[in-house]
Amino acid sequence: MDPEDLFSTNLIDGTIASRIERQHRSRPSVIVIGAGISGVAAARSLYDASFKVTVLESRDRVGGRIHTDYSFGCPVDMGASWLHGVCNENPLAPLIRGLGLTLYRTSGDNSVLYDHDLESYMLFNINGHQVPQQTVIEVGDTFKRILEETGKVRDENPDDMSVSQAISIVLDRHPELRQQGLAHEVLQWFICRMEAWFAADADMISLKTWDQEHVLTGGHGLMVQGYDPIIKSLAKDIDIRLNHRVTKISSGYNKVMVTVEGGRNFVADAAIITVPLGILKANLIEFEPKLPDWKVSAISDLGVGNENKVALRFDKVFWPNVELLGIVAPTSYACGYFLNLHKATGHPVLVYMAAGRFAYDLEKLSDESAAEFVMQQLKNMFPDACEPVQYLVSRWGTDPNSLGCYSYDLVGKPTDVYDKLRAPLGNLFFGGEAVSLDNQGSVHGAYSAGVMAAENCQTHILEKQGQLEKIPLVSLRHEMLETSIPLQISRM
Ligand SMILES: Cc1cc2nc3c(=O)[nH]c(=O)nc-3n(C[C@H](O)[C@H](O)[C@H](O)COP(=O)(O)OP(=O)(O)OC[C@H]3O[C@@H](n4cnc5c(N)ncnc54)[C@H](O)[C@@H]3O)c2cc1C
């Protein structure tokens, strides 16, 4: 009998528990909830260490917020697309090297303004007039100055405030930094780019922590072949049950019982929870016993942002050969930009990216209306723009499997929120991007968080079974991938 069937009665009585105990004694078992990068990384580590691993995934695909779509005939990442930190210290570097994947670097180490260098922009106003590059550079410098000045505001104020509040204080103190007319619109565009980094509006972003992230060196690189090969490689041979939406997690008797939609139960020695923070915030999974108050507070004290993409495939390229085509406007909400995938991958694809409240508003439109809206923006810049052959629209904010795109620090976030989020509860362990030690909101952060949760889970189980000394905790597979093959980077 399959161990999970033993629990179809929904009861963990002494008899059943002891039978399960006997079945599992030889090989420790773990259920991983969620088959995003964090879940598959956790599962991979455990599988390579000879644990019995079952991954339960609500969607009909693996990858989660990594979703490389191939319907255009070329890879288009509708979720994560950049590797933040193109360097050997990036935990994903061994995998990327081993799989021979190429990176297109959109910015180097000195890029202050997020994942693009200033020279790769071409900006237009709402009437389609190109913004002189000199204005872009000058306002970019002013924006850096404003951000530096917000550092002083932070030092003076013990209490946290939003980045937009701090910018207002700086502009009141330094009227010479205020911009007028077109320059004001360009400044709003830089704020829009900042908001895209956090996937939240500037009035939601914490002044205390916005620049405190430990960013890896090497700049930012687009995954030319998409992120999907990494997921596929990690997921190879793992028992992943798609269309298994977890509704309840019960822990006790040194066992965890996980219930999926439809009532089927799965049982293991421990579970690793890697569902997005948005799912935990929405209480879509019942915990038995209930999560302690400190865990519930940690879940609510961290923010989840939203970002959406509208990808357009054309049959010819009618736009200039730059990486970003931006639209400046009087407010950051009304600004926008397209990522030119043609420059990075050679395919005639533009990807419009929207973040924060605007990303939620975009989800209120049908796919067709979203594509029309975006095309109108493009036609303002290029009146001769042709219609797209195909389009794709993401809906990360309302997708019941994600409910947001990634976590960010809310104003006034308690300092120990990450420690509390990642803290295990008996035989329940927590992975996912939001519990990453240093790089929340990223793929490599989610990966490391999954590996770390797996290591903690392994140690916990082996300690309980008195086997800690007998089994090595190191996964051989990753050591094998530590080769001297260099990262393949275009646009150095
Ligand atoms: C639009 C967008 C752009 C991004 N850009 C970048 C980028 O360029 N670079 C970067 O580094 N990061 C980027 N990110 C962030 C990155 O994608 C995430 O940090 C990372 O993929 C999260 O991985 P995860 O495993 O923690 O979560 P997920 O990938 O969300 O995995 C969690 C899994 O749990 C599943 N699940 C949910 N509920 C249940 C349930 N009840 N039962 C079972 N399974 C469930 C989900 O379906 C999902 O597969 C972006 C994200 C988005 C959305």
Asked whether 446 and 267 are in contact (CB, 8 A), the reply is no
- Over residues 353-364, the mean pLDDT reads 97
The pLDDT value recorded for residue 464 is: 87
Question: Does residue 235 have a pLDDT over 50?
Answer: yes
Which residues, 6+ apart, have CB-to-CB distance to 379 below 8 Å? 385
Residue 263: pLDDT band with limits 50, 70, 90: very high
pLDDT tens digits, residue range 392-416? 999 999 999 999 999 999 999 898 9
Domain boundary among 335, 361, 393: 393
**Residue 154 alpha carbon to ligand 1 centre in Å:** 32
The pLDDT value recorded for residue 437 is: 85
In this structure, the number of other CB atoms found within 10 A of the CB of residue 177 comes to: 16
The pLDDT value recorded for residue 466 is: 80
What's the chain's average pLDDT?
Answer: 90
Q: Is 322 exposed, middle or buried (0-12, 13-18, 19+ CB in 10 A)?
A: middle
Residue 492: pLDDT band with limits 50, 70, 90: very low
Residues at the binding site are: 38, 246, 352
Quote the number of domains for the chain: 2
In this structure, the number of other CB atoms found within 10 A of the CB of residue 19 comes to: 13
Asked whether 458 and 272 are in contact (CB, 8 A), the reply is no
Residue 160: pLDDT band with limits 50, 70, 90: very high
pLDDT tens digits, residue range 463-485? 888 876 545 444 444 444 444 45
**Residue 227 alpha carbon to ligand 1 centre in Å:** 12
Question: Does residue 15 have a pLDDT over 80?
Answer: no
The answer to whether residues 311 and 208 belong to one domain is yes
- Which of 482, 121, 144 lies closest to 326, judged by CA? 121
The answer to whether residues 437 and 477 belong to one domain is yes
ipTM metric: 1.00
The pLDDT value recorded for residue 478 is: 47
pLDDT tens digits, residue range 181-204? 999 999 999 999 999 999 999 999
- Which of 482, 421, 412, 436 lies closest to 298, judged by CA? 421
Domain boundary among 393, 423, 454: 393
**Residue 450 alpha carbon to ligand 1 centre in Å:** 12
What are the structure tokens assigned to 392, written together? 């794709």
Helix (H, G, I), strand (E, B) or coil at 342: helix
**Residue 406 alpha carbon to ligand 1 centre in Å:** 7
The answer to whether residues 290 and 317 belong to one domain is no
Asked whether 431 and 450 are in contact (CB, 8 A), the reply is yes
The pLDDT value recorded for residue 88 is: 94
Work out which ligand 1 atom sits closest to the CA atom of 39: 25
The angle formed by the CA atoms of residues 192, 197 and 203, to the nearest 5 degrees, is 55
The answer to whether residues 133 and 184 belong to one domain is yes
Residue 3 lies in a domain: no
Take atom 13 of ligand 1 and give the residue whose Cα is closest: 80
Domain boundary among 335, 365, 393: 393
Which residues have any ligand 1 atom within 6 Å of their CB? 33-39, 56-59, 64-66, 79-82, 84, 245-246, 274-276, 279, 284-285, 307, 309, 396, 401-402, 405-406, 432-433, 441-443, 446
| CATH value at residue 420 | 3.50.50.60
Residue 437 lies in a domain: yes
- Over residues 57-62, the mean pLDDT reads 98
Residue 1 lies in a domain: no
The answer to whether residues 203 and 275 belong to one domain is no
Which residues, 6+ apart, have CB-to-CB distance to 100 below 8 Å? 485, 488
Residue 133 lies in a domain: yes
Question: Does residue 293 have a pLDDT over 60?
Answer: yes
Residue 421 lies in a domain: yes
The answer to whether residues 208 and 124 belong to one domain is yes
Take atom 31 of ligand 1 and give the residue whose Cα is closest: 36
The pLDDT value recorded for residue 446 is: 98
The answer to whether residues 279 and 359 belong to one domain is no
The pLDDT value recorded for residue 432 is: 98
Asked whether 258 and 414 are in contact (CB, 8 A), the reply is no
Work out which ligand 1 atom sits closest to the CA atom of 81: 8
The pLDDT value recorded for residue 107 is: 85
Is the entire prediction scored with pTM above 0.95? no
What are the structure tokens assigned to 136, written together? 């872009």
The pLDDT value recorded for residue 469 is: 56
The answer to whether residues 198 and 333 belong to one domain is yes
The answer to whether residues 239 and 343 belong to one domain is no
Q: Which range of residues forms the domain containing residue 146?
A: 113-212+307-393
- Over residues 144-171, the mean pLDDT reads 96
**Residue 404 alpha carbon to ligand 1 centre in Å:** 9
Residue 154 lies in a domain: yes
The Cα–Cα gap between 401 and 477 comes to 30
pLDDT tens digits, residue range 302-351? 999 999 999 999 999 999 999 999 999 999 999 999 999 999 999 999 99
Work out which ligand 1 atom sits closest to the CA atom of 404: 53
- Which of 377, 367, 373, 360 lies closest to 308, judged by CA? 360
The answer to whether residues 202 and 233 belong to one domain is no
Residue 248 lies in a domain: yes
Take atom 11 of ligand 1 and give the residue whose Cα is closest: 442
**Residue 375 alpha carbon to ligand 1 centre in Å:** 28
Find residue 267's DSSP bridge partners: 257
| CATH value at residue 165 | 3.90.660.10
Residue 25: pLDDT band with limits 50, 70, 90: low
Residue 16 lies in a domain: no
Share of the chain above pLDDT 70, in %: 88
Which residues, 6+ apart, have CB-to-CB distance to 442 below 8 Å? 80, 84, 406, 433, 436
The Cα–Cα gap between 463 and 469 comes to 9
Residues at the binding site for substrate are: 352
The answer to whether residues 207 and 338 belong to one domain is yes
In this structure, the number of other CB atoms found within 10 A of the CB of residue 390 comes to: 15
Walk across the sheet containing 324-327 and list its strands: 121-124, 324-327, 336-340, 349-355, 307-313, 390-393
pLDDT tens digits, residue range 70-124? 999 999 999 999 999 999 999 999 999 999 999 999 888 766 556 667 668 899 9
Work out which ligand 1 atom sits closest to the CA atom of 56: 43
Residues at the binding site for FAD are: 38, 246
The answer to whether residues 55 and 163 belong to one domain is no
The pLDDT value recorded for residue 333 is: 96
